[in-house]
Amino acid sequence: MRAPANATATAPWPPRRSLAKSAFSAGPKPCGGPAGLAAGVYAGAEGMKALVIDDHTIGWQAGTSSRIENDMGFPVGISGGDLVWRGEVQAMKFGPKFAVPRCATRIEKRDSDRIFCVTMDDDAIVCARSVIVATDVQYQRLPIDRLKTFEGIGIYCAATEIEARHCSDTEVVVIGGGNSAGQAAMFLSRTAKHVYLLVRGDTLAASMSDYLLSRLQADPAITIHYQIELEALHGDRALTCATTRNKAKGETLDLDDKGFVISQKGGHETSHPGIFAVGDVRSGSVKRVASALGEGSVVMSKVWEFVNR
C-alpha cells in the first residue's frame, strides 16, 4: 500500500479501517536511522500500517560506522551498514513501507478527527493517527576554512571500505572522542601508515567505551593526542597537510556538545582561570532574562576574588 502522489488531507493514510486495530498507529517517521527502523519493525509486528520516511538513505549516521561491537546479539561485531540493512529487511517482512529519498516538511493535526497530516517535499500529503519523529543528527562541521573544498578529496565524514582505500598507506588524522571516532581509528589503522586521533578534551574516559579505549592505547599504529584541535587545512587540488593547535596553550574555552561554554559545577568560572561565563552562553543556564541578570550580578564577587588573589 502506498500514499498516492495526489493524496489530500481528506484521505487518511493508513486507511481508517486499519487504525481500529490499535489505539496507536505508527505513522510517517521522518528518518530511517536505527530508532526509525526499530519503530517500523515493532509497528509492523503489532499489525499497524507504517510508513518510514527518510530524505537521504536508510541508516544515516549509524550506517557509516565501520564497526559496532556493543550491540547485543553480535559477539564479533557488525558494520553499521550491515546492521541497518538487516533492520530494513526485518521491517519490510512485517509490512511497513519506505519512502526514500523523501522529506517531510510540515505536520498538521486536523481538529475534526485528530488525524495527523504530513506534507511531503512534493506537496503530497500522507495521514496517520500518530507520528514518530526519529530524526537523526547531522555531522557538526568544524569551523575551518576550506573544509568544504576538501570534502571527498582528503576530508571524509565516514570510515567505510571506500575511505579505507583512499587512506591506504598514508598518515591519517581522525578527529573526535566518542566510540565512532575510536572505531574509525581502529578500522583505518589496518591499511593506513599511521593514525593520529585528535581529542579536544584531556581524557577519553567519559566519552568512549573502556574496551575500545584499551584497544586504541595498545595499538602501535595509533597515537592519541589530547587537548588538540584542528586549526587549518592546506593543499591545492587535494588535502596535503593540516595544522593543529594545542588547546592548553591557547585561550580556547571548553564547550559542551551544543557549543555552550562549560563552567565549574555550581559556579561560573570556565576551564581557564579568570574567565567566567554567565547568561545564555553558559552551559546549563536557564535561558531567561531574569536569570541572566542574576548571574551577571553574582559573578562579580568571584571576579573580585580572582583579581585580588
Q: What is the pLDDT along the chain (309 residues), one digit of tens a residue?
A: 333 333 333 333 333 323 322 223 344 544 557 777 788 888 888 888 888 888 777 766 676 777 777 777 888 888 877 888 888 888 888 888 888 888 888 888 888 887 888 888 888 888 888 877 776 556 677 888 888 899 888 998 888 888 889 889 999 999 999 888 999 999 999 999 999 999 988 889 888 889 999 999 999 999 999 988 888 898 888 888 888 888 765 555 677 777 777 888 777 788 767 777 877 778 888 775 456 656 766 776 776 677 677
Compute, in degrees rounded to 10, the torsion defined by CA atoms 132, 133, 134, 137: 180
CA end-to-end distance (rounded Å), the chain:
73
Identify the CATH assignment for 161-249 out of 3.20.20.70, 3.50.50.60, 3.55.40.20, 2.70.98.30: 3.50.50.60
- Contact indicator for 97, 36 with CB cutoff of 8 Å: no
Q: In which residue ranges of the chain is CATH 3.50.50.60 found?
A: 16-128, 161-249
Burial level of 71, CB count in 10 A (0-12/13-18/19+)?
exposed
Beta carbons within 10 angstroms of residue 305's beta carbon: 9
Q: Which CATH architecture has domain 16-128?
A: 3-Layer(bba) Sandwich (3.50)
Pinpoint the alpha helices (H) of 32-178. Answer: 34-45, 60-63, 80-93, 161-166
Q: What's the angle, vertex CA 288, arms to CA 287 and CA 290, rounded to 5?
A: 140
Stated pTM of the model:
0.53
CA 152 – CA 176 distance, rounded (Å): 19
